[in-house]
A = this chain, B = another copy of it.
Amino acid sequence: MVSVPGPWHPIPGGVTAPEGFLASGLTAGLKPSGKPDLCLLLAPVGAVCAGSFTTNRVRAACVDLCAERLAATGGRARAVLTNSGQANACTGERGRSDSLRATAALAERLGLPEEQVLICSTGVIGVPIPMPPLLAAMEPLMAGLSDEGGAAAATAILTTDLIDKQIALEASLGSRTVRIGGMAKGSGMIHPAMATMLGYLTCDAGVPAGVWQAMVQRAVDRSFNAITVDGDTSTNDTYLAFAAGEPLSPEHFEALEAGLTAVSQHLARAIARDGEGATCLIEVRVEGAVDEAGARAIARTVCGSSLVKTAIHGRDPNWGRILAAAGRAGVAFDPQAVALWLGEHQLMAAGQPLDFDRPAASAYMQARAAGAYLSDDTIAIRLRVGDGPGSGSAWGCDLSDQYVRINADYTT
């Protein structure tokens, strides 16, 4: 569990925990496996939605459509349809027209303008969505909408993830109660050529669209943009964050942002922990950098290094690989100022290795392997690179031979 800041505390549920949000999920028959594959999330009247999308030049038609519609409406989206099994990327004109048909059919039934309906797809690249079963499932999907539908929705967006990923937080802000919910999928035993990450956040406080968009972007930079499983950016990555409800007093914006950052970080960590073949979560915290962006860049480079990831898989306190990775992050720092900790064990000071207790450091890493999901399985690396004010974190997972076998043996 990510540490929960300030006034926030965890409550049961996910995206339907905030007031007014409805969701449903079912099996439409899109996946050969017969698992749940279609999900609908409906936001209350007046909702604003902030979107964050893959930076890949090759992106799916549904991603283009989401971005266009959020821009055209100033973030006034009300509904998102998500199908899992087919990414609908590299499917040409048909990909675009299928996305338009699906959202048009849903908009008509919901009585909404088409521009307020979004679609996200995840699954195999190059494969179109089977439209007849998708269209046939619209009625039961709408009939299933409920304020307890978050769990079914969180299941229906999965592809080959090992576990559901959802969270809800609650806080008293002034005289009112505010809730934030979230769900995500990604990175677990990824089908080759799968498009990877989807995340959804809901909040029952009203926030001006511009303020909300800026808050969400900062939260994304501190969560999803700070994780890495294998360095490959997918064609479909999407994060959609809805806020709807009585306007929140600006004095509580800072607390709200802390909550949505915590929810985003929980979901991002859950994705990293569920990385292909992973046996532990790696958390790298960099301190003393010139600024936060530089600290995060160093942290993410260390997290993404194949040599660091394999060393951690072998539970080897290999400070040399950590330092070499930090050095190639493209961020200036003085190597002679570096100090490094692994858990409580200090491995370096003033840029040189200390005579640390190697068996104890290895034992710390071994113990993390056996820990409970997202609690005691985190191997914490702390790197101080100077006296600057910038600090930041990144999360990843170890690189195992199982990762190679998963990705080498499977033929699309």
Contacts A324-B233, A324-B235, A328-B233; is A411 near B192 (CB within 8 Å)? no
In the bound complex, do residue B411 and residue A55 qualify as a contact, i.e. CB atoms below 8 Å apart? no
In the bound complex, do residue A314 and residue B57 qualify as a contact, i.e. CB atoms below 8 Å apart? no
Query: Interface residues of A: mostly helix, strand, loop or mixed?
Result: loop
A58 interfacial contact with B, CB 8 Å = yes
Per-position binary interface string of chain A over residues 42-71, scored 1 when its CB falls under 8 Å from any chain B CB and 0 otherwise: 000000000000011111000000000000
Q: Which residues of chain A from 7 to 32 have a CB within 8 Å of any chain B CB?
A: none
In the bound complex, do residue B324 and residue A412 qualify as a contact, i.e. CB atoms below 8 Å apart? no
Please report the C-alpha to C-alpha distance between residue A309 and residue B125 in the assembled complex, in whole angstroms: 18
Contacts A234-B324, A318-B193, A327-B57; is A126 near B404 (CB within 8 Å)? no
Contacts A58-B327, A192-B321; is A407 near B307 (CB within 8 Å)? yes
Task: Name the B residues within 8 Å of A192 (CB-CB).
Answer: 307, 311, 316, 318, 320-321
In the bound complex, do residue B92 and residue A333 qualify as a contact, i.e. CB atoms below 8 Å apart? no
Task: Name the B residues within 8 Å of A404 (CB-CB).
Answer: 310, 313, 399-401, 403-404
Per-position binary interface string of chain A over residues 162-201, scored 1 when its CB falls under 8 Å from any chain B CB and 0 otherwise: 0000000000000000000000000000001101000000
Q: Which residues of chain A from 77 to 97 have a CB within 8 Å of any chain B CB?
A: 89-92
Residue numbers of A with Cβ under 8 A of B are 55-59, 89-92, 124-126, 192-193, 195, 230-235, 304-307, 310-311, 313-314, 316, 318-321, 323-329, 331-333, 335-336, 338, 348, 350-353, 362, 399-401, 403-412
